[in-house]
Amino acid sequence: MIVKLRLTQRDHQTLMTHLLPGDGLEAVAVALCGRRRSRTHHCLTIRQLVPIPYNECKVRSPDRVTWSTQRLIPLLETAEREDLAILKIHSHPGGYEDFSGTDDESDKDLFNSVFGWTDSAFPHASAIMLPGGRMFGRAIMPDGSFHDLDSISVPGDDLHFWVGGDGGKLPSFVLRHAQLFGQGTTRRLQQMSVAVIGCSGTGSIVIEQLARLGIGRLVLVDPDHVEEKNLNRILNASREDAYLRRPKVEVMARAIAAMGFGTELEIIAKDMATPDAVKAVAECDVAFGCMDGVEGRHLLNRLAAFYLLPYFDIGVRLAGDGHGGIDEACGAVHYVRPDGATLQDRKVYTMDQLKAAGLRRTDPTAYREQLKAGYIRGVPEDRPAVISINMHLASAAINEFLARIHPYRYDDNAESAIVRMNFMDGSYYKEGEGESSGAFTAHLGKGDIRPLLSMPELSEREHTH
């Protein structure tokens, strides 16, 4: 089983301040974590962080901390009731990069009690923070055994992604990437799992680049099949695919398999608003949204909050005047932090547009009537699409991803939450994310709940994925 830990940038900063106050002494915190439960991937997401006050620690020395567990009791009660996870985090201010014998004894004693209280069939976890903020950790299994966490990620302005082990020899096809980004970053890419939702105009280009960058695992989501009208912009699609109405995810999978890079693949020929798709994307480390629809964007933004995923949204806007002229040709890449401003905060869509899209899907007749009466604005359909502009935006999204995995820009990544391109005047500019309304704050790190994402339409036939 792959076990991962995720926490927000804000929680990571809180931990750095509390665990590494500069006095050279160990400190400790505990957390209640949501879960993404499956037989193959188990993700722990910090939902509530509780730093243990220094005055409640009986011993604080450079290599040991003992503390009162009184503040853990409310977390245990919630964990027992909702089958959530308990995480213990402490510091090694001297930089020791392993669990000590003292840590082993402490964890055995603590988590024996935790399992006795929660009686969970799923793992809990213990983690260590080193000077500078790097973290490593281990899962504590129900039988009391320790297993290294496969990854710890912090989807902040910089995307911290710490993995265990050296991963072995790099394959030859990524060696030139390593010349620029270094073996550490290249190895992280090799061990990452990335979801791409939408496999058409921008999605097929994003998929092509991710596969050739050496991403270890790709999850592709799209319910549609190839049609002749979209052959102008889907990489690796043919007229035969359109004639046979092959699912877009199968066409992408065939192309990736032909590359021969050993990329692990999961394809889901379903709408994103299905339990199977939500669960599969939630198990990934990063999500790319390559959809035009308002509902899909809203769902992905919501999913990013529940499961603490970094989310890159790609939007292209083209409009012709009907006479061979161009009225508009622009696009944007939005990087969405789980604890940052939402796409709605950034005016990518409005609540009225979201309601109109939902009505069009659930009651087309009422939608047409309200549209005709002027009660709602129409949902755009069959917009123009040009592969060259899609290429620009898809490449910008991939470069934004790489800039956060391997920060190399002169400016802080916080200044590039939004990257805009206007092909009419050749401009390219960036913006910070702006103010957050906190719309999803209450959902941060919740993980699996019923119904999924607190959306009734996702409540049907839930099962372990």
- CATH for 37: 3.40.140.10
In the predicted model, what is the mean pLDDT of residues 68-96?
97
**260 and 295 co-located in one domain:** yes
**129 and 259 co-located in one domain:** no
User: Over 70: is that where the pLDDT of 381 sits?
Assistant: no
CA distances from 247 to 9, 225, 262 (A): 38, 4, 22
Mean pLDDT, all residues of the chain: 91
Check residue 380 and give its pLDDT: 61
CA distance 75 to 33: 9
Check residue 367 and give its pLDDT: 60
379 falls in which pLDDT band (50, 70, 90)? low
- Using CA atoms in the order 289, 398, 153, 14, what is the torsion angle rounded to 10 degrees? -90
Q: Each residue of 178-235: pLDDT tens digit? A: 555 667 788 889 999 999 999 999 999 999 999 999 999 999 999 999 999 989 999 9
Check residue 432 and give its pLDDT: 95
Check residue 464 and give its pLDDT: 46
**432 and 331 co-located in one domain:** yes
**244 and 286 co-located in one domain:** yes
In the predicted model, what is the mean pLDDT of residues 322-338?
87
Q: Are 422 and 330 in contact (CB under 8 A)?
A: yes
459 falls in which pLDDT band (50, 70, 90)? confident
**192 and 59 co-located in one domain:** no
Across 37-46, 167-176, 309-318, 421-430, least confident range = 167-176
Share of residues in the chain with pLDDT > 90 (%): 78
Name residue 381's amino acid. E
**281 and 427 co-located in one domain:** yes
CA distance 72 to 57: 13
Packing angle, helices 364-373 and 351-362, rounded to 10: 130
**136 and 188 co-located in one domain:** no
57 falls in which pLDDT band (50, 70, 90)? very high
**183 and 326 co-located in one domain:** yes
Q: Which residue has the tokens 């964007």?
A: 297
In the predicted model, what is the mean pLDDT of residues 243-249?
97
Asked if residue 389 is part of any domain, the answer here is yes
Output 129 or 41, whichever has higher pLDDT: 129
Asked if residue 297 is part of any domain, the answer here is yes
Three-class SS state of 138: strand
**181 and 303 co-located in one domain:** yes
Check residue 196 and give its pLDDT: 98
What six digits make up the tokens of 366? 């009422």
Check residue 462 and give its pLDDT: 44
Query: What is the extent of the structural domain holding 32?
Result: 2-149
Q: Each residue of 408-442: pLDDT tens digit? A: 999 999 999 999 999 989 999 999 999 999 999 99
Across 158-167, 274-283, 362-371, least confident range = 362-371
Check residue 465 and give its pLDDT: 46
CA distance 278 to 167: 29
130 falls in which pLDDT band (50, 70, 90)? very high
Q: Are 36 and 43 in contact (CB under 8 A)?
A: yes
Check residue 356 and give its pLDDT: 76
Check residue 385 and give its pLDDT: 76
CA distances from 414 to 266, 302, 311 (A): 32, 21, 14
**21 and 103 co-located in one domain:** yes
Query: Domain holding 436: CATH number?
Result: 3.40.50.720
Domain count, the chain: 2
User: Over 80: is that where the pLDDT of 363 sits?
Assistant: no
Check residue 224 and give its pLDDT: 96
- Residue 413 contacts by C-beta under 8 Å, 6 or more apart in sequence? 157, 158, 335, 403, 404, 407
Which helix (H) or strand (E) segment is 356 a member of?
helix 351-362
CA distance 282 to 300: 10
User: Over 60: is that where the pLDDT of 36 sits?
Assistant: yes
Helix segments in 100-235, DSSP class H: 101-118, 175-190, 203-213
463 falls in which pLDDT band (50, 70, 90)? very low
Asked if residue 177 is part of any domain, the answer here is yes
